[in-house]
Each structure stands twice: as C-alpha cells, then as structure tokens.
Amino acid sequence: MIKWAIIFFIISVVAGLFGFTGVASGTRSIAKVLFYIAIVIFLIVLVFGVLLGVLVF
C-alpha cells in the first residue's frame, strides 16, 4: 500500500513539474488516501499484535 502511495506521489511531483496541475492534484489526493489507509491498517495490526501476542506473529 505504501508502495502505491509513493508511486502516486512521484507521479504527482513529475506532473506538477511539467505543469499538469489537474493530474498533479488528482494523484496527490490518491496518494494521501492510500497513505492514510496504510497507516490505519498498520495501527490495526499493531493493536491486534499487542492484544493477541504470539497468535498474530
């Protein structure tokens, strides 16, 4: 998930450099959403890992 967020971020930066502001803002928002989803999934796995201990890992 983080990999795709980084890819969309790089596309956004390159599009911004070439002046495609519409594409840059679209890919930026997609990258933000993917990053926040990845953070939420990480926190859920972390909480379950702490609560369940060895069963998860």
Domain extent, residue 24, equals 2-55
CA angle, 53 then 55 then 57, to 5°: 80
DSSP secondary structure letter of residue 19: T
Evaluate if residue 54 carries a pLDDT over 80: no
Q: What is the pLDDT of residue 44?
A: 93
Query: Percent of the chain having pLDDT more than 90?
Result: 51
Q: What is the pTM of this model?
A: 0.76
Q: Give the C-alpha separation, 14 to 8, whole Å.
A: 10
Ordered alpha helix ranges (H), the chain: 2-17, 21-52
Number of domains in the chain: 1
CA distance readout (Å), 9 to 18, 38, 48, 54? 14, 14, 30, 36
Specify whether the CB–CB gap between 44 and 52 falls below 8 A.
Answer: no
